[in-house]
Structure 1
Amino acid sequence: MQQLAREYAQALPGRDTDSLAAGLKAKLVYTDLGERDGAYDPEHSVILISRRASPQRQRFTLAHEVSHALLLGDDDLLSELHDRFEGQFLEDAIETLCNVGAAAILLPDELLNEVLRRYGPSGRAMHALSRRADVSVSSAMYALASAAAGPILFAICSRLGVKSSALGLSESPSLRQKEVRSGAKRPVVVRSSAETRDVKYSLSKDTRIPEDHPVVVALDTGFEHGGRSYVPFRSGRKVPAFVDAYPDDQRRVLVSFRLDEKKGEE
């Protein structure tokens, strides 16, 4: 998928929104899609983008839908996917690959390698890559997850109640309403995550981060924080990890968890 996306991007006149669909010769339509960010109609060669989304989100969605088109055009890759997965697992695999493809289209290898050399696979790297490439932090996160070496989980976290427009992400309405009714302090939760190929599991959306965790300390103090800690999975499992938590100016914490699985669970 990365190879398909990179080859496509190299042939584009640019990486601005108008140029991204040029290689497909597809019609680009901005419309109201409800809860969806975008869609690709291969029969009519049309890419639909939500007009309500932020410019950064529209750009990533466009690259994601272009990746759907590239995937549909590669019979070998499609055949391998259908051999390995079925049902919801197939749908999830396709969406993951299209996120990987979108990151490869928007973020050239030269920039990725430069940021990784300077900052390492860290929360600060997510922030720097987002600014340098003018993409959302979620786009930067997916790109770093595809490029970084070793078992690493990346996440974007915030307290419940932060407006989704500021985050570029959605939250679970039921979880938020439960906190409002109880009057409890709104927890810090995972809003989005990605993992390198060496990680066999993912960090689920809405996973709560304990109040004494470095992620919460970084959010509350406004200072980068890290050190040896753990990944707090929803199941209650705690996997030892070196945590790097970087608070940005949007009331989020951008996090990398470099796993230390040899030490086992806490």
Structure 2
Amino acid sequence: MRDCTQDAIAYALREHARVGHLTDPERLAHALGVRVVPGARNSATHGPPSVITLRRDIYAPRQRFTMHHELSHILIQRAGLQDSIRAEVDDDDSAAHLEAVTNHIASLLVMPDAMIRAALALYGLTPETVLLVRDAGRVSLAAAMRRVIHAQERPSTAWLSVGTHVHDVASSDPYNRLTRYQRLPDARAALPDAALLALPGQARLLGVVGW
């Protein structure tokens, strides 16, 4: 990972720890001294004063990740690393790179390491851990899958299948062969070491495997 990106992540994690790893975005914004107001577009400025504006059509408690994303922008700005992160890649890719780093930091604020460790302590690397993180972080199943998998030191893969096809995959395993839309009629036979859990509705199956 690039140095400035690493420095931004480390700064954000220190600030998050300083305020007790709050995950509720309203409380986190208050603890970080950031004012949140409705606006014509989503934006963030570290100021002073630090202000986040959110479009009125999405200004609701359910839009948790949007607020965490904008808070991440402010933390990057406070660290003085916004321009340095953009400079890590070519100009044509700089905006997308900054947004990717911001999204990564936002995922760490929504689902902090303490949450991941607690879930793993209860269930190990299993589908139940993914569901616990999803519910505790109030995030999508896709987001929880990725956060749990990329928190592992060992190569791991999580997937969601619907019927006989893979619907989504999150993997840190360079040898992973699962891909979206792949046919997987018998997950147990294909991945005998995987932990599997049937989910309600549409013959959904959540699987996790690590080596």
d(CA) in 1 for partners of 2:207, 2:156: 10
1:66 positional shift:
1.3
d(CA) in 1 for partners of 2:103, 2:174: 17
2:34 is the alignment partner of 1:82: no
CA contact (8 A) 2:194 2:209 kept: yes
CA contact (8 A) 2:134 2:144 kept: yes
Tell me which moved more, 250-259 or 137-146: 250-259
Q: Which residue of 2 aligns with 1:126?
A: 130
Q: Which residue of 2 aligns with 1:25?
A: 34
d(CA) in 1 for partners of 2:14, 2:46: 23
The correspondence for 1:68, drawn from 56, 65, 73, is: 73
d(CA) in 1 for partners of 2:161, 2:82: 33
1:127 positional shift:
0.5
2:118 is the alignment partner of 1:106: no
CA contact (8 A) 1:100 1:142 kept: no
Q: Which residue of 2 aligns with 1:46?
A: 52
Could you tell me which runs of 5 or more consecutive residues in structure 2 were left unpaired when the two chains were aligned: 1-7
Share of identical aligned residues, percent? 18
Q: CA RMSD in A?
A: 3.9
1:140 positional shift:
2.2
Q: Which residue of 2 aligns with 1:237?
A: none
TM value normalised by structure 2: 0.67
The correspondence for 1:209, drawn from 182, 185, 199, is: 182
1:7 positional shift:
2.5
1:210 positional shift:
0.3
Aligned residue identity for 1:4:
Y
1:67 positional shift:
1.3
1:115 positional shift:
1.6
d(CA) in 2 for partners of 1:246, 1:53: 35
CA contact (8 A) 1:127 1:248 kept: no
Q: Secondary structure at the match of 2:16?
A: helix
The correspondence for 1:254, drawn from 168, 186, 206, is: 206
CA contact (8 A) 1:21 1:28 kept: no
1:27 positional shift:
2.4
Number of matched residues?
198
1:47 positional shift:
3.1
- Report the CA distance shift for 1:6/1:201 in structure 2 as closer, same or farther (over 3 A): farther
Q: Which residue of 2 aligns with 1:264?
A: none
d(CA) in 1 for partners of 2:38, 2:118: 35
d(CA) in 2 for partners of 1:133, 1:77: 27
- Report the CA distance shift for 1:2/1:133 in structure 2 as closer, same or farther (over 3 A): same
d(CA) in 1 for partners of 2:134, 2:95: 27
Following TM superposition, where does structure 1 have runs of at least 4 consecutive aligned residues deviating by more than 6 angstroms?
200-204
CA contact (8 A) 2:43 2:53 kept: yes
TM value normalised by structure 1: 0.56
CA contact (8 A) 2:195 2:208 kept: yes
d(CA) in 2 for partners of 1:250, 1:68: 37
1:150 positional shift:
1.9
Could you tell me which runs of 5 or more consecutive residues in structure 1 were left unpaired when the two chains were aligned: 34-38, 160-186, 215-225, 230-240, 260-266
Over residues 81-111 of structure 1, what are the superposed CA-to-partner deviations in whole Å (9 max), with x where a residue is unaligned? 52245534x4454343333312221233233
Q: Which residue of 2 aligns with 1:4?
A: 11
Over residues 30-85 of structure 1, what are the superposed CA-to-partner deviations in whole Å (9 max), with x where a residue is unaligned? 88x7xxxxx324388333257459854x1122112211222233344752552245
Q: Secondary structure at the match of 2:185?
A: coil
Q: Which residue of 1 aligns with 2:4?
A: none
CA contact (8 A) 2:44 2:73 kept: no
1:145 positional shift:
3.2
